[in-house]
Amino acid sequence: MKTIDKYLFQALDNYPYWLEGTIESLDYAFSYDSKNTMILCLYGRIQAEQLMNYDEAKSYFQEALSINIHALEVYPYYLQTLILNEDYEDAEKLIDFALTVKGINKAEIFIKKAMLLEVQQKFKEALKEIKQAKLFSMQHDYDSGISEVEKRIKSKIDLLENKKSKKDKKGSKKKSK
């Protein structure tokens, strides 16, 4: 095993529970290979998930993909960052491209697409993407994550329908008086 792998594994093992150890191991790994896409991806994740510095995170993800467009580990985290940063058009373009990358976990990308539609409150369309995610899912553990997203979207649909029915009831009460 190469030294860089040792430090990369330490960083992955430490993240997100021991950030100081994660950064220390990442810095060592980065000093051995500044073009390693997994290292750049983890730096991006730290910027997005821990520091909420989405622009900096995006630059790490972009750098990783410029080095290797087939860096499969980058796409889900980059998409999540774009969605959180409300870069919806960029997220949509990246999703479309990611679905063409050989070997990518399509179920995971369809989940990100559903989440993108969810934040745009396009809930019915989001449920269609959930269906696609289920069709492409090949891991039992991943199915529970898909179900959780589906439940959340359905609860938002129910919430909106309950609001509409309450407004309709209020409107009919006013007319009857």
Q: What is the pLDDT of residues 145-171, one digit of tens each?
A: 899 999 999 999 999 888 777 777 666
Per the structure, how many domains does the chain have? 2
Say what the pLDDT of residue 172 is.
60
Say what the pLDDT of residue 171 is.
64
The rounded percent of the chain whose pLDDT value lies above 90 is: 83
> Is pLDDT at 25 greater than 80 in this prediction?
yes
Q: How far apart are CA 47 and CA 20, in angstroms?
A: 14
Q: Which residues neighbour 92 within 8 Å (Cβ) at sequence distance 6 or greater? A: 116
Kindly provide the b/e burial profile for residues 112-132, where b requires at least 16 CB atoms within 10 angstroms of the residue's own CB.
bbbbbbbeeeebeebbebbeb
- In this structure, the answer to whether residues 75 and 116 fall within a common structural domain is no
Does 50 fall in a domain? yes
CATH code of 52's domain: 1.25.40.10
Q: How far apart are CA 71 and CA 60, in angstroms?
A: 12
Say what the pLDDT of residue 176 is.
53
Write down the pTM of the prediction.
Answer: 0.90
- Structural domain range at position 42: 1-87
